[in-house]
Structure 1
Amino acid sequence: MMSLFRSHNFRSGWKMVSFYTVGCMSGSSLDGIDLCYAEFTGAIVTDKWQYRILKAITVSYDSDWKSKLRSAKELMGEDLIKLHLEYGHFIGKTVKDFVEQEGIKNLDCVASHGHTIFHQPNLGYTFQLGDGETSAYYLKQPFVCNFRNKDVALGGQGAPLVPNGEKFLFNDNEICINLGGIANIGVKDLQGYDICPCNYVSNKLAAIHDPKLEYDPNGEISETGIVIKEILDKLDALHFYEQPPPKSLDGEWIEAEVLPILDISQNSIPDLLMSYTEHVTNRLTEACKLARDSLHAENKLIPETVLKVLVTGGGAFNKHLIRLLEGKLQDQGFILEQVDEVTIAFKEALIFAFLGLRCLLNQTNVFHSVTGSKADSVSGSIHRPAHYVNSDSRIIRYLLEKNKDRQTSCT
């Protein structure tokens, strides 16, 4: 069995430690479950970390699962509980198959975001599908999920969570944008928040245009359309955009506030897609400008610094959207940073792997500066494997050794 921590002279200097984790992410765009197996190497005392993605795949949802997830919010109590358990089985089996098929031997824990069904932090609740105890049945390592509820209980938004990991794994970037079902931004050492709906809307429009499509490939449909100014103005006037961060979005709000504006009975899908792409790139550009202002206000930037904007997530593969965004960012003095396709596609799953690891190590993984809660927290529900295994004791042993070293240094 591998050691949970690897370091020469570990106890005397607490130099570098390494951990191996699988992260799971299911987003509102319903493209599937992203699985990312990564190594995290860090210096515990300074809390500086690096990552290495070792294997990553997307397990697509079949039509049955897409239907179940789309309609989950309409279920009554008992049926929702049944689906919660069924999805827990699905995640557990999916991770187990991934580990076995990829020949993964070194693994310390698994972490899953789950699939968001309800997210109403202002009303005090959020719910991610996928029962943790059920998923843990299939695994030989601790399983961590349910990352949002504690932060909501502390008065926070419980989202977005990705910026909480970006501050460690992507700390060379002042601004990170993720283009998932919902686009969000992380501003280095300051804040993070949801910007606007993204793939959630464009995927729906593409599927209406052609039922065989799950998304607009490279923005090819959008590129043939024109901007409908009346629709663009209505989108830009949505009250959410006037609210200051912290703030977050969910599918219910999108269905109620955004989709009715995109009237398919009066407008062509290409024109609606083009109008929405224009809206998204405008909102992203405005968010970057506000981020730069915040960084300057906090004296975190040297004057005249040209900021690089790291863009990841499924929407980053939409070449038409990225061309529009790059042009608008350049006009405002930003540079769009290019990264490898694996990082673009699997950054969210990577970060949940890291947030789960921090939970097990009893390190803060959700920050009030991002979510607006009353306090930082160590968030996530820990579910042990069905049978006692060494991975559990390794984590306990690591924490005991860490605590012992602290006591020694204080005497």
Structure 2
Amino acid sequence: MKNMYNVIGLMSGTSLDGLDLAYCQIQETEGSYTYNIKQTKSVDYTPEMKNSLKNAIHLPTLGLLELNNTYGTWLGEQTKIFIKEENLEVDFIASHGHTTHHQPKKGVTFQIGCGQHLANACNHVVINDFRTNDVSLGGQGAPLVPIGDMFFFKEYDFCLNLGGISNISFQKEEKRIAYDIGLANMILNYITQKIDLAYDKNGELARSGVINIHLLNELNDLEFYKLPFPKSIGYEWFLNKVIPLVDQTEDSIPNLLHTAVHHICQQIAIQIKNNIKPKNSKLLVTGGGALNSFLVDTLKHKLNNIATVVIPSKTVIEFKEALIFALMGVLRHENKTNVLSSVTGAKKDSCSGVIYYPQ
């Protein structure tokens, strides 16, 4: 068994901003892992593809299976282009896919991007479907990134990801704890799309607004925030619980954004304060939200004298999740634990992922 792997991690998140590809060298030395992100690429979704992914939840079964296959082929084609452009030597591909359905209480989680179609399209071994096994063991199937936080970013007391959803990871009593906090870019992008804007660059529109107290209180009162961890959310929750609150609020776009940012940061601050260490803690922030300067400024203000907010390099901000799915692929290849029951609530730790060979 080798101790140095060249892996491409693929990630598509709930914010629907595109596909992230990260070519990573991952080295194992006596059970410890180190990484080097060698090459990266982001592929924006066309409006048509973004619309297809966004509305996949409403597709009939046959339509969803067809999208699973065509999206898998598209992932493989994009990976093949990336490999050719950069002349990469690759051991295998580790793909998260794109989550269309996530209802772990019903034993359901589905990430489209068929592994066999992907493998055939790029002519490389593919490891994907990292969530299903954990759900079958009674877990949430999420979040999965904490295994990478534990191996790669253990110098931080808290690891916060601000993608479509905010989630957090930290060590507590020798166990890794992690869960979805709640909203992040999903609500911000939904609001900006009302004025045909993909996102609020640097949070400039949000910064110019003021808080709508009624909306803020409604968002803070959502039942999910009262639930104990382990817990996770998907697009269904956003569709059913959050969109109605936003749509029924008559206010300007800047005010809606300003309110959403304060809500996001307020919920994060509650979790940090509930789990703070005696010393001044360090909070690593990654994901697209780390590039929103107003969101980061608001978070720093709410955590003043409680935790130091650390913003890493743009590469780590944007490609941390793709990197960690590359690690999960390595751990699956080595038949080692890559999903933690302390995080998901499953019956036991597991080695998850399905391996596909090109035909």
What TM-score results when the alignment is normalised by the length of structure 2? 0.97
| 1:109 pairs with one of 63, 72, 92 | 92
1:357: which partner in 2?
330
Taking the aligned partners of 1:312 and 1:110, their CA distance within structure 2 comes to 23
1:37 corresponds to 2:23: yes
Q: Secondary structure at the match of 2:303?
A: helix
1:343 corresponds to 2:316: yes
| Letter paired with 1:38 | C
Report deviation, 1:74. 1.1
Q: Secondary structure at the match of 1:262?
A: helix
CA contact (8 A) 1:164 1:370 kept: no
1:306 corresponds to 2:290: no
2:214: which partner in 1?
230
Distance 1:264 1:224, change over 3 A: farther
| 1:221 pairs with one of 196, 199, 205 | 205
Report deviation, 1:230. 1.1
Larger radius of gyration: 1
| Letter paired with 1:132 | G
Matches for 1:97-176 after TM superposition, within 5 Å: 97-105=81-89, 107-176=90-159
| Letter paired with 1:133 | Q
CA contact (8 A) 2:290 2:311 kept: no
2:275: which partner in 1?
291
Taking the aligned partners of 2:275 and 2:104, their CA distance within structure 1 comes to 24
Taking the aligned partners of 1:180 and 1:76, their CA distance within structure 2 comes to 27
Structure 2 residue runs of 5 or longer lacking an equivalent are none
Q: Secondary structure at the match of 2:50?
A: helix
Q: Secondary structure at the match of 2:149?
A: helix
Q: Secondary structure at the match of 2:101?
A: strand
Percentage of pairs with the same residue: 39
CA contact (8 A) 2:147 2:340 kept: yes
CA contact (8 A) 1:175 1:291 kept: no
| 1:366 pairs with one of 336, 339, 342 | 339
1:277: which partner in 2?
261
Taking the aligned partners of 2:249 and 2:13, their CA distance within structure 1 comes to 28
**1:235-292 Cα distance to aligned partner (Å, 9 max, x none):** 1111101101000010110111111111366111111111110000001111112232
2:167: which partner in 1?
184
Q: Secondary structure at the match of 1:138?
A: helix
Q: Secondary structure at the match of 2:247?
A: coil
Q: How many residues align?
A: 356
| Letter paired with 1:219 | G
1:19 corresponds to 2:5: yes
Is the deviation greater in 73-82 or in 87-96?
73-82
Aligned alpha-carbon RMSD (Å): 1.2
Taking the aligned partners of 2:158 and 2:254, their CA distance within structure 1 comes to 31
1:65: which partner in 2?
49
Taking the aligned partners of 1:263 and 1:29, their CA distance within structure 2 comes to 19
1:28 corresponds to 2:1: no
Report deviation, 1:78. 1.2
| Letter paired with 1:42 | E
2:63: which partner in 1?
79
